[in-house]
Structures are given as C-alpha cells and as structure tokens.
Structure 1
Amino acid sequence: MATAKVGEALRRLGIGDEATRVYLALLELAPVRLSRIGTAAGLDDTQLAAAYGELVDAGLASAPVDGRDAIAPLPPAAGLQILSRHRAAELDASCVTVAGAFDAFRRQRLAEFKDDLVEVVTGEEIGPRLRQAWDSAREQICQFDSPPYFPIPTATDEALATLARGVTQRVVYSRESLEFPGNLTQSIEPCIAAGEQARVVPSVPVKLVIIDDAYALVSLSIKEVDVHHTMLVVQPCGLFAALVALFEQTWQSALPFHGPPHRPHRLLPADRRLLSLLAGGVSDDDIAKEIGISRRTLFRRVEVLMARLGAATRFQMALQAQRRGWL
C-alpha cells in the first residue's frame, strides 16, 4: 500500500504527524533499535520519545525495555479498534443531540401538534397498533427493547412469524431486557435462532419500533410507558428521520448478542485475573497494585481487552467475556 495512503489513514485515526512518520519508518526498517528510527524519521530524542510513546499507547508498536532492544510494529487489530473507538466520540455526541431534540419536541411541541404527522395512542389501543405494525412490515423492523412491557401474550409468536416471512429484524436490547424474568430464554433467544439480529447496550433512551421507512412507534420515555401507557405513531418527517438516525448510531455502538454462549477462547492468565478483578468491582487503583502495574498500563490493557471483545464499555466487555467463558 502506498505510504501516503497509510499516513493519511493514521492521521484520520488521530495519530499525530511525527508519530505517523515513526510508524512508516517502522514498517520499512523494523525490527531495529529506536535510535535508528529517530534518524530515519528526522526527529531528535525528545520528539522521538513522544512520537513513539504515542504509538505504544495506541497499541501499534512494542515498548522497548531499554535502548538496546529492537522494536517493531504490533499486529494492529486491537490498536485500530481503540483508535476507532476514540474517534467515535463525535458519534456519541450526535446521539445525545438527537435524543435531546426529541425530548425538547416532547416538552414543547407535542401539545400543539395538530396534523397527521404524529398520532397519540393510549391505553388499550396500544396492543392492536403494535400487532398492526408487525403485520404491516415488508422489509425491516428496527427496535429498542426494554421493560416495562405492554402485556401482549402473543408478541414472541408474532415476531417469529414476521421473521419467517423474510422481514429483517434488528433489535437493540437494554441490560434490563436480558435480566427480565424469562425474557431471555422465552423470547430473545428464540428470535435470534430464527434470524433476528440482536445487540445489547446498558440502557436505551426510548422504547422504539421503526417499520420499514413508513412510520415509527415511540414511547414518551421508558418510565412513562408504565405510568401513562402512551405511545406516539410518527409518520415520515424531521422527527422520524431523527429517530432513524438515533437507532442507527446506537446500533453501531452496541455489542453484538448471539444467543447461547460461545466456546471459550485462549486467554492469558494475567488477563483472566484482570477481568476477574474488574468483574468483582475492585477499584482501578487496587487492581493496579494487585497485579503490579501502573494505572496507565492498566487502562491500556483494559482497552486492548475491550477491542478484542468488540466492546465499547466495561459493561459490554464483562458481558462478552462471560459469554465467551473467560470469567
């Protein structure tokens, strides 16, 4: 691959110019001593130390014990995951903005909205409208799922029937969905086995169902579902587009959920010990003392483990580690 393209890709991931020059020199010369890399990159000792430290922190290069050690680039998969996650901060901010826009809409505009773009459905009317939504889907259903649930005894059967006729279903479950009594074995796993694409996050901002590009069903908030039994039916408009964007951004950051646990994979004893301490609620300072590393090294190892597991948060890391048999 052309050097210019590699350099541009690294800069887009947030790697500085001097660190990029060092990485390109590594690709050309490694394994080699650090001093020779500095000469090739045209950097003095101070600049070289900072630039190479940036690569080590990003998981892209090995850390030398002393100046006599040869250095080399590391396999980049975990490091690139870390860099990508850091750059995803802007997407997270976008999610907050969209959710805030909907909340402002609810507070300021709902009472005066008089046309057919938004319909308010309450009480016993909710169940039939949900069934109608599943029956009307032709291509795709996108959903945020979380308790409390409106009592529809046939909900799982209707979801399975929809999957059976070829409708794609993408569902983002909250942690509470997995913990709700009987929900995992009686509803979630049967739907995944039938072809549903499922992901999980600690919590979802609203209960939401998007039917094709036709309309969305959305609650005013998680708590208000139970208190007011109120649902909005949103036709294509600016609010509908915002809800679609909110779902897609949340889907991208959610952890894939594949039903029954995977077979255990190889894990170093030190990393297993680290995961066990984290899962036990031990503080970062105490973990660092227990295994004899600095806080900075601890954070770096946690980020590498999160990247290996495809997790964006420590909650997701613990969930995926448990499913893989690492805990």
Structure 2
Amino acid sequence: MTNAKLGEALRLLGVGEAACRVYLALLDAAPAPLGAVGRAAGLGGAELAAAYGELVDAGLASAAAKDGEVVAPVPPAAGLEILARHRAAELEESRIAVGGAFESFRRHRLAAYNDHLVEVVTGDAIGPRMRQAWASAREQIRQFDSPPYVPIAGATEDALATLARGVTQRVVYSQASLEHPAKLSTVIEPCIEAGEQARVLPSVPVKLLIIDEAYALVSLSIQEADVVNTVLVVQPCGLLSALVALFEQSWRTALPFHGRTARPAGLPPADRRLLRLLAGGASDEVIARELGVSRRTLFRRLQVLMARLGAANRFQMALQAQRSGWL
C-alpha cells in the first residue's frame, strides 16, 4: 500500500494528519529516537509530542526501550479495533444528529404545510369557489350529488360548458337528488344528454366534488338541519386519496342511470324518462310529478310498457328495458 493510501486509511479511522505523518515515519525508520522520527515527518517540539501521544493513545506506537527515547510502531490489530469502534460511535452520533435535525425540519415544514392541506370556505364564498372548480377541470370531474343544495347561479351552465370542453364527468346521484323538485328536468337530464355519465345509489356518503387529481371539495352539509354553509377544499394528501377511492368504490356499485345514448325507435321521450326514473328508484309520486301526469295515468303507462317488454313486474320491466337499450 502506498503511503498516500495508508495515510487516507488512517484518516478515515480518525487519526489526525500529523499523527499519520509520524506513523508513516515510524514504519520507515523505527525503531529510532523520537526526534529522528519527528525530523523524518517534518515535525518537532509540542506538535511532534502531540502527534506521537495520539498514536500511543490509539495503540499504534510505543517506546521500544526503557528510556523511552526510542520508539516504534506496535502490531495494529488491537489499536485499529479501538479506532474502528470510536469511529463507528462517532458516525452513529453524527447519524443521530443529522437525522434529528431533519426530523425537526420535517415537523416544522409539515406543520406549516398542513395549514394549506385543507381550506375552509363558508357562506357567500362557496358559490364562486364551486364555479372556479368546474372551470379549472382539465381531464375529469367526479361527484357525489345529494340535497341540500347551495343555490349557485349558472351552475348547470358551468357543468355543460365543462362537458363541451371534453372533460369527463361522472356523477353518482342519490335517490333524493332525483326526487328533488325540478332537479331531474333542469339539471340531471340536460347534463346526461350532453355526455355526463350518471349512476344512482339510494344515498351517497358525502357531498363531494373531485377535480382531476388536483383537489376535492367536500360539503359539510346536514340535510336534516338544511345546513349548507361550509365546504372543505382538500389538497393532495392521504385524505384526497381516500376520497378518490371512496368515489370509485361507490361508482362500481351504483346503478347506471343514463344507459345507452341510442334512442330506440318508437319509444316516446316521456316513456324513456319514466324508465329512467323507475330504474333510479324514484317513487310513483315523484315519477308522476316529473312527468306531469296523474298516478292513474302513470299506472296505465307502466302496464303498456310491461306488455311491450313481456314483463310480469317492474323489476323484469327494468331488466328488459336495459337489455333492449331503452335505458
């Protein structure tokens, strides 16, 4: 091994530069008087004494004669083991110190960052923030829709404009959405006709709007109290991932509401609406109200449709309508 490599190895073990020079001189000249070793290493006086003392403490040198003037290197096994342990202890202390400093940094930075993970929007600010969300969508919108509703002027137009831009829109409606006065005819059906993918569940777990993978708006609405005055804006984090997973799971279990876009020949639009409402779980009262007919007329239409489809009950009628492309 060259002197340069040996010196680097000693320095890696924690031996100082001056002590390395003295040790190399010892290997070349010892046993020899300490002064001669110092001259070979280019050291003298207190500097030489300190470097030699470091080697003695490390177990790498000792006196070769009783008078202590002649010195020599000693077998390094024990000394190197001590140095290695000291070095390992120092490295561990450094690792703990650096790791602790980073953890402190992370905690402070995360605490500051968390202030922006969830934003609370209340009152009159909800409408503009919702419209901004629709306008910012680039790829897809995922939504849970359920009453109570915040009156937002132009909301339907925003949804239609988003669809027109080619943004995929998937909405899971609650049954209460279909039964909400005028919601079906003025909001749901126009969006479906424009390309919205709609499904229905008896209820949805939360009012939710997910914009691309960027953020989500969660309404803290309470239907029983008709409270719709607070919305949470959730930025990318574990909570947003959980909301996306919740939507996708609900989407898989929800029933298709709009079905195929092809219009079967000879099926009046009113009957198609009737079948949609029926498949969505709307009650007879709601269906009759949405169609603007009496319940007696509704029953008569149902009987005609059941006969056309060869169904013995409403369930069979809905199933046959789906198979025939009427839903």
Q: TM-score, normalised by structure 1?
A: 0.47
Q: Over alpha carbons, which structure has the higher Rg?
A: 2
Higher RCO (CA-CA < 8 Å; seq separation 6+): 1
Q: Tell me the TM-score normalized by structure 2.
A: 0.47
